[in-house]
């Protein structure tokens, strides 16, 4: 997992973070459709600005879960504190936070016709649809070119706008992965209310999973393997709920949607591990290794 051991540490771990806007241009005949995360939204902020000022980075929200004050924190830091509340209630200065992100120049990608199209999935309006294997190859090429500054002790975050990834069909709102020691994530910021990847919902999902399974190899107990939940991917169990178990938080005059995440008792740990013995940060109904919805 990312950060220090909450049973023995009482300090803050801060991860140096990069934001890389990814502009996608889909060409069909003579028509070019551009999906640009530098687009200005209805609240006057760009997609990137709305991301960097969201509760994923902002630490001013005080999270009170079932009457227990987790503290003012970034959303995923609050989740992780609740996740290990049996220790954190004693080691109260324990935090794992994302550093103030450095926004890098926009990465501009134009997938070939066989790898990128426009569509109208879920009747959301015009969206880009890009093959995930082709897309991931471009991200890894970028990371290789920038390896002098983006190092394994940093967290690069790629951001697309109104663009889903595909793998034999649509739609994927984001993913996290690792190449060697370098971890990274991508998410789609969707502008449509109610979309499963609405604003930073997919972002909170992927960062939450990165916290607990950064290299996509953190194996849960054998019981979970029997139910198809063998990796400690804490966002996936909530996918059966509306908007993947999203909860609304108002910050800076904007309503953000952040996904709930399963806590360690879902993966077989004792309920005393987490706040209130809950199986998810927002107390959705889950049982050991059995998804909700």
d(CA 100, CA 78): 17
Q: What angle do CA 228, 232, 238 make, to 5 degrees?
A: 70
Task: Summarize pLDDT for 152-180 with one digit per residue, the tens.
Answer: 999 999 999 999 999 999 999 999 999 99
Task: Summarize pLDDT for 91-126 with one digit per residue, the tens.
Answer: 999 999 999 999 999 999 999 999 999 999 999 999
Q: Assess if residue 274 is contained within a domain.
A: no
- The number of C-alpha atoms within 13 Å of 86 and in the hemisphere containing its C-beta is 13
Task: Summarize pLDDT for 257-288 with one digit per residue, the tens.
Answer: 999 999 999 999 999 999 999 999 999 999 99
Q: Assess if residue 22 is contained within a domain.
A: yes
Q: Assess if residue 283 is contained within a domain.
A: no
pLDDT over threshold 70, residue 71? yes
Q: Which residues form the domain of 200?
A: 12-219+244-255
Looking at the structure of the chain, the number of domains it has is 1
Q: Please give the backbone phi and psi of residue 34, each rounded to the nearest 5 degrees, phi first.
A: -110, 130
d(CA 267, CA 234): 9
CA distances from 289 to 103, 175, 225, 262, 267 (A): 37, 21, 8, 10, 6
Instruction: Confirm if 247 and 63 have CB atoms less than 8 A apart.
Output: no
Q: Assess if residue 111 is contained within a domain.
A: yes
Query: What's the sign of the alpha-carbon dihedral 100, 155, 255, 94?
Result: negative
Q: Assess if residue 162 is contained within a domain.
A: yes
d(CA 262, CA 278): 9
Least-confidence region, from 7-16, 46-55, 192-201: 192-201
The stretch 227-238 carries a mean pLDDT of 89
Q: Residue 132, class by beta-carbon neighbours within 10 Å (0-12 exposed, 13-18 middle, 19+ buried)?
A: middle
Q: Assess if residue 75 is contained within a domain.
A: yes
CA distances from 25 to 33, 57, 108, 151, 169 (A): 6, 28, 8, 28, 19
Q: Please give the backbone phi and psi of residue 142, each rounded to the nearest 5 degrees, phi first.
A: -60, -45
Instruction: Confirm if 208 and 259 have CB atoms less than 8 A apart.
Output: yes
CB atoms near residue 241 (< 10 Å) = 19
Contacts (Cβ under 8 Å, ≥6 apart) of 225: 219
The stretch 60-72 carries a mean pLDDT of 97
Specify the pLDDT at position 293. Answer: 61
Q: Assess if residue 152 is contained within a domain.
A: yes
Specify the pLDDT at position 172. Answer: 96
| The token pair that represents 157 in the structure block | 């975050």
CATH of the domain at 109: 3.40.390
Task: Summarize pLDDT for 125-158 with one digit per residue, the tens.
Answer: 999 999 999 999 999 999 999 999 999 999 999 9
- Mean pLDDT for all residues in the chain: 95
Q: Strand pairing of 246-251 and 254-259?
A: antiparallel
Radius of gyration of the chain measured on its C-alpha atoms: 19
Q: Assess if residue 262 is contained within a domain.
A: no
């Amino acid at each position: 997992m990312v950060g220090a051991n909450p049973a023995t540490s009482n300090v803050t771990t801060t991860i140096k973070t990069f934001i890389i806007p990814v502009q996608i241009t889909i060409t069909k005949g003579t028509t070019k459709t551009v999906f640009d995360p530098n687009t200005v939204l209805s609240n006057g902020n760009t997609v990137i600005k709305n991301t960097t000022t969201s509760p994923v980075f902002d630490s001013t929200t005080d999270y009170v879960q079932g009457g227990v004050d987790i503290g003012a924190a970034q959303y995923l830091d609050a989740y992780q504190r609740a996740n290990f509340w049996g220790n954190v209630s004693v080691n109260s200065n324990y935090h794992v936070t994302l550093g103030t992100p450095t926004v890098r120049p926009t990465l501009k990608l134009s997938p070939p016709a066989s790898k990128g199209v426009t569509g109208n999935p879920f009747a959301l309006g015009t969206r880009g649809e890009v093959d995930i294997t082709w897309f991931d190859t471009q991200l890894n090429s970028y990371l290789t070119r920038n390896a002098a500054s983006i190092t394994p002790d940093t967290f690069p975050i790629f951001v697309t706008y109104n663009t889903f990834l595909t793998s034999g069909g649509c739609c994927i709102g984001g993913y996290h992965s690792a190449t060697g020691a370098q971890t990274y994530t991508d998410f789609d910021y969707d502008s449509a209310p109610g979309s499963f990847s609405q604003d930073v919902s997919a972002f909170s999902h992927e960062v939450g999973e990165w916290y607990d399974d950064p290299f996509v190899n953190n194996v849960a107990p054998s019981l979970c393997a029997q139910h198809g939940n063998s990796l400690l991917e804490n966002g996936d169990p909530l996918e059966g709920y509306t908007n993947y178990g999203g909860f609304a938080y108002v910050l800076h005059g904007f309503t953000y949607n952040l996904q709930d995440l399963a806590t360690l008792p879902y993966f077989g740990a004792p309920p005393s591990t987490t706040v209130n013995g809950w199986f998810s940060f927002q107390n959705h109904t889950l049982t050991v290794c059995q998804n909700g919805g």
